[in-house]
Each structure stands twice: as C-alpha cells, then as structure tokens.
C-alpha cells in the first residue's frame, strides 16, 4: 500500500474525530496505515485516496462502519484491573442494594461503555451475581455498548480462548463457562446463559444522542477516554454523568484520570469517582 500523504492523513484524522471524537495524532499514522492496508485488501480498492472517497459515498456506507471498526483498538480480558471489581462488590454493590431497598425498587442497572469484545460486562455480571443475596429477587441488567460492530459480534457470541480467562477463579470458570472443542482441536470457553441473559449488547457512538433514559447505578468507562482530547473527554464525562444516579460510581481506566476536567463527581480512589 502506498504511504498516506500528510494531507490525506489529516483528512482521515478529521473524519474520525468528527464522527466519534477519537484523536488520531501524528503518532498514530503507522497504526492507521496498517488498519487501512487490511481494508484495502478486503475491498480491493487501489489506494487510500480511493478508499477515503468510497467510504464517503452512498454505496460505501457499510464500509464506513467497518472503517471505524478497524481503527478502534481493542485489548481486554476477564477481570482486567481487578481492584475495580473488588471495589464494586465490596463498596458499590452494598450501597446500591441499601439505596434501592430504601426506595422500594429491585432495579439494578450498570453500563459498560466501550465494552469491546465483552470480557468487561461478563466480569461485572459474574461479580454481581456472586455477591448479590438472592439474585433472583433483583431486576439486574447490564447495558454493554461499543462503536465497533465487529467486537460486539464477538461479545454476543461469548466464546473465548483460554488465554482470556487466566484471571478467572477456577470456581467461576466452572460455574459460568462451558468448555467447547473447536474443529482445530483447541479448547474454547463459552459464557453461560446465566450471564448472557442479564446483558444487552448495543452499538453506540458515545458522541451521539443516547437512545435510553437510565439511570445507572454504576458506569464503567475504562480505557476509552485515552482516545479523546481534553475537550471531548469533558463533554462526554458530563454527558454520561447525567445518566448516573446520585451516589453512583464512575470507573475509568487506571491509566486515565479526570484531573483538570470540569465534572460533577468527586474523587474516591485511583480511577474511581462518585456522583
């Protein structure tokens, strides 16, 4: 594939920023070139310029979505950043149970924003179900969203390689996963129906209007803000906060911080905030 000219790189970068707020700075040029090379092979288009023109055309609308699938980076596994799940079951869950019992509601709602291939919402589901007294009494649901249709397909299927489950305790692995034998002879692990039934996977661009009302008791938005500039981060944090109950918790990635942003939450501990 021919190299991206500086002008065309800026055009792609502006398109990505305008559509979903992701900041493709100059250091991301080689990444964009690698992702474009795959899409050129898939579409048979001759050059990055031809591809750019195509995804902006009426006939290229489906490929337009595939392009954003390609440029979103996804690295995740079960129980990633485990201190968050310790806080969830040790602090946040007892508080939301007490709050909801006082209000006379059995409703528990958690949002996994930027859920990628599903490991995060499935981990949340395991954590809550394992630590909720009489879980059948509760109307517990998780909304899991991502901009990438590709990763959402993997999440909905719920089948993972063993490497993704390294942090899953043996008891939970036995309770919530079924071992499958693939045609290649390798073992994979399928998430149980008990987890799948409490999660709704939906495509969502965080910059778009949200097609739900909430509110959520907890929002996970981890390792998502690193792709946005400060202006977009502040806009999104305040927008998402509107869907968080008073006293609810907001989790960001451990490499992220809301320091320097104007928002209505207070710092609790690294990467954990409360409205």
Q: Specify whether 35 is catalytic.
A: yes
**What are the C-alpha distances in Å from 28 to residues 4, 10, 246?**
12, 11, 38
Tokens of 255: 């490499």
Q: Band the pLDDT of 155: cuts 50, 70, 90.
A: very high
- Report yes or no: 13 and 200 within 8 Å, Cβ to Cβ: no
Q: What is the pLDDT of residue 30?
A: 84
Catalytic annotation, pick one of 69, 80, 109, 146: 146
Give the SS3 label for residue 36: helix
Average pLDDT over residues 258-262: 90
Cβ neighbors of 35 (< 8 A, separation 6 or more) are 70, 71
Q: What percent of the chain has pLDDT over 70?
A: 97
* Number of other residues whose CB lies within 10 A of the CB of residue 231: 11
**CA 195, CA 102: separation in Å to the nearest integer?**
27
Pairing of strands 199-203, 266-269: unpaired
Tokens of 34: 């690698």
Q: What percent of the chain has pLDDT over 90?
A: 65
- Report yes or no: 49 and 12 within 8 Å, Cβ to Cβ: no
Of the given ranges (90-94, 228-232, 244-248, 268-272), which has the lowest mean pLDDT?
A: 228-232
- Report yes or no: 227 and 251 within 8 Å, Cβ to Cβ: no
Average pLDDT over residues 10-21: 84
Q: What is the pLDDT of residue 73?
A: 62
Question: Is the per-residue pLDDT at 98 higher than 90?
Answer: yes
**Per-residue model confidence as pLDDT tens digits over 59-97:** 988 888 888 777 766 668 899 999 999 999 999 999 999
**Per-residue model confidence as pLDDT tens digits over 170-184:** 999 999 999 988 777
> What pTM was computed for the model?
0.81
Question: Is the per-residue pLDDT at 150 higher than 70?
Answer: yes
Catalytic annotation, pick one of 35, 80, 109, 222: 35
**CA 264, CA 246: separation in Å to the nearest integer?**
10
Q: Specify whether 61 is catalytic.
A: no
Q: What is the pLDDT of residue 61?
A: 83
- The strand ranges marked E within 5-124 are 107-113
Tokens of 238: 């305040």
Domains and CATH numbers, the chain: 6-71 (1.10.155.10), 83-274 (3.40.50.150)
**Per-residue model confidence as pLDDT tens digits over 182-218:** 777 788 999 999 999 999 999 999 999 999 988 999 9
- Report yes or no: 110 and 142 within 8 Å, Cβ to Cβ: yes
Average pLDDT over residues 45-61: 91
């Amino acid at each position: 594939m021919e190299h991206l000219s500086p002008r065309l790189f800026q055009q792609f970068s502006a398109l990505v920023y305008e559509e979903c707020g992701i900041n493709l700075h100059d250091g991301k040029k080689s990444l964009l070139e690698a992702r474009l090379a795959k899409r050129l092979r898939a579409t048979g288009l001759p050059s990055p310029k031809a591809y750019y023109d195509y995804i902006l055309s009426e006939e290229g609308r489906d490929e337009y979505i595939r392009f954003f699938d390609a440029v979103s980076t996804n690295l995740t596994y079960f129980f990633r950043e485990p201190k968050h799940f310790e806080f969830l079951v040790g602090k946040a869950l007892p508080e939301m149970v007490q709050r909801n019992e006082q209000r006379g509601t059995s409703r528990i709602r958690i949002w996994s924003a930027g859920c990628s291939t599903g490991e995060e919402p499935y981990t949340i589901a395991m954590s809550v179900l394992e630590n909720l007294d009489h879980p059948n009494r509760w109307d517990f649901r998780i909304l899991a969203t991502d901009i990438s249709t590709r990763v959402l397909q993997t999440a909905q299927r719920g089948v993972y390689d063993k490497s993704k489950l390294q942090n899953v305790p043996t008891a939970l692995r036995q309770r919530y996963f079924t071992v499958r034998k693939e045609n290649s002879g390798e073992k994979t692990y399928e998430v149980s129906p008990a987890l799948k039934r409490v999660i709704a996977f939906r495509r969502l661009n965080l910059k778009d209007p949200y097609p739900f009302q909430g509110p959520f008791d907890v929002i996970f938005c981890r390792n998502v803000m690193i792709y946005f500039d400060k202006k977009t981060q502040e806009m999104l944090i305040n927008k998402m906060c509107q869907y968080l109950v008073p006293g609810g918790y907001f989790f960001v990635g451990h490499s992220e911080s809301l320091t320097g942003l104007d928002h209505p939450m207070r710092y609790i501990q690294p990467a954990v905030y409360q409205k």
